[in-house]
Structure 1
Amino acid sequence: MHVVVNAAASADGKLSSRRREQIAISGEADFERVDRLRADSDAVVVGVGTVLADDPHLTVKDESLCNERLERGEPKQPARVVVDSRGRTPTDAAVLDDAATTYVCLSEAAPVDTRLELTDRAELVTAGDERVDLLRAFAALESAGLERIMVEGGGELIFSLFEAGLVDELRTFVGPTVIGGRDAPTLADGEGFVEAFPSLSLEEVARLDDGALLSWRVEGR
């Protein structure tokens, strides 16, 4: 399995404002890059916080990219994955429509009635007691044939993936705006590291829209 974390951050490293409302950080060129990255992936992964805040569809928008997938013998759309320890994904969320297969990763703490509501709309993966055990969950996704994984956020999930040692690449578009706010989400939230910090190797820097795309490889992966 190869895991690529992709994110757009402000110049001061924020994913959105303290209100956790979606903010346009990048432009058309980056949107096209993200669409291509989705099309080249077997699955697109987000945390439930992103689903609740943005209600993303997580599908490839460019029909020509969808056709390329079909020509390669792949499904028209990559699978979608929601990491949702307690089953908070709304049953009417866009990510649960029939545009693509969706997996919801739950912990044992997710209520039974929630499982029953989700089971008709998604493939359920249970791993972990109180929180999703990402190592076990991603191993289950790999067993289902999902090898090329794109992670789109949010910050809590991204930190947890780094903590679990699952990230191979980090691609960050840094946009020309300052959001600020001590409570605004950053690229990697969670508890934060105090030692054994993940080390990155800068592979490429490219101008894109009015910002820059930074491509990093996680050392030791």
Structure 2
Amino acid sequence: MRVVVNAAMSADGKLSSKRRDQITISGPDDFDRVDALRAGSDAVMVGVGTVLADDPHLTLDDPERQTARRERDEPAHPARVVADSRARTPTDARILDDAATTYVFVAESAPAERIEALEAAGARLVTAGEERVDLASALPSLEREGVEQLMVEGGGELIFSLFEAGLADELRVFVGSKLVGGRDAPTLADGEGFVAEFPELELDDVERVDDGVLLRYAVV
């Protein structure tokens, strides 16, 4: 399975403000690019922090792309995946509607009542790891369901965890012409941070998009 990490960040590397509010960093051309990348992926993944902050839907915007997927005998929208160690995803979150299949990765320590509530809401639960989701153990469950390309849309904790586990294959990041600031504002890769054995990237392409640049890296 190929794991493609995609994100939009400010010129100073922030994903959102210190209040974790969703802010507009890119423009219409980049929104369309993201929609196309979703359309070409089998599943789209976010962390529970993104679900709680933004309540994303993670479906395709372009009806023609939905039709093209159906013509390939695929669902109109890619599957959706949430990394949620403690099963905190609200049962009324948009990501749990019936527009697409939704998987929720939880840890063994997740409260049983929360797991039952999510299953009742239609989520497919995958348990991996004791206190935190073990992504290396969880992702093969998606492969068994036919997921060949997984698109990851954040946030910073999930992105860090994927790089820490050596699971990311590609990074696509739009850098917008906006400063956000704030030592507590989330960055592209949060988590504990690396102090040695830093992941190495190889720059494959640079493209001007909207009033910013799109950087495409392969993970070495």
Secondary structure of the 1:3 match is: strand
- 1:102 maps to which residue? 102
- Name the structure 1 match of 2:24: 24
Q: Distance in 2 between matches of 1:35 and 1:86?
A: 29
Tell me the alpha carbon deviations over residues 62-117 of structure 1, each in whole angstroms, 9 at most, x when there is no partner: 00000111111111110000000000000000000000000000000111111111
**Structure 2 equivalent of residue 15 of structure 1:** 15
- Root mean square deviation, CA, Å: 0.5
Instruction: Report what 2:185 is aligned to.
Output: 184
Give the aligned residue type for 1:68. Answer: A
How far did 1:149 drift? 0.3
Mapped to 2, the partners of 1:89 and 1:115 lie a distance apart of 10
User: Counterpart of 2:152 in structure 1: which amino acid?
Assistant: V
Instruction: Write the distance in 2 (CA, Å) between the matches of 1:110 and 1:32.
Output: 36
AA aligned to 1:128 is G
CA distance in 1, matches of 2:97, 2:74: 19
Alignment identity in percent?
68
Please, which runs of 5 or more residues in structure 2 have no aligned partner?
none
What's the TM-score once normalised by structure 2's chain length? 0.99
Letter matched to residue 129 of structure 2? G
Query: Which piece of structure 1 moves more, 138-147 or 30-39?
Result: 138-147
Amino acid at match of 1:57: H
> Which residue in the other structure is 1:204 paired with?
205
Cα shift at 1:139: 1.0
2:80 is matched by which residue type in structure 1?
R
Aligned length: 219
The corresponding residue for 1:85 is 85
What does 1:51-200 align with in structure 2 at a 5 Å threshold?
51-120=51-120, 121-200=122-201
Equivalence map 1:30-45=2 (5 Å): 30-45=30-45
- Measured in 2, the distance between the counterparts of 1:206 and 1:79 equals 28
Letter in 2 for 1:181: G
Q: Which runs of 5+ in 1 are unaligned?
A: none
Looking at structure 1, the residues matched to 85 and 148 of structure 2 have their Cα atoms a distance apart, in angstroms, of 22
Deviation, 1:49, is 0.1
Q: Which runs of 4+ in 1 moved over 6 A?
A: none
What's the CA shift for 1:152? 0.2
Counterpart of 1:38 in 2: which secondary structure?
helix
